[in-house]
Amino acid sequence: PITPGELLCLGSSLAFSGLFYYLYRKKARVVARIQEAPKLQVNDDLPALVSAADGRCLPYVALEGIVLPAKAALTSHYHEGLQGVIQKLLLKEHRLIWNSLARSW
């Protein structure tokens, strides 16, 4: 005989397993799209390629090229000779969404 507590534990275990599998598959699809991203070189043709794209946006691309730091390059404390730069990113949201809780756009 199975007790109601055991059924509850089994049901919640199955529900959590299904939820985590769904989240795993969703993230796996995103990773696959990123890995299949086309590799583009940073050159003079890049602005024309972006402006010709649908919505003037390239969803996933890998840019390859040489970048120059604005001030000084960052050096790694863990690997000698490894340097990097920080990219400044600005995101503007043009779509307004009604927030019913705050009653504002």
The pTM of the full predicted model, rounded to 2 decimals, is: 0.48
* 99 touches 105 (CB < 8 A): yes
pLDDT for 14 beyond 90: yes
**Placement of tokens 């390859």 in the chain:** 64
Mean of pLDDT over the chain: 86
Which has more confidence, 89 or 16?
A: 16
Query: Of 72 and 6, which is predicted with more confidence?
Result: 6
Highest-pLDDT range among 3-7, 38-42, 67-71, 95-99: 3-7
pLDDT of residue 91: 67
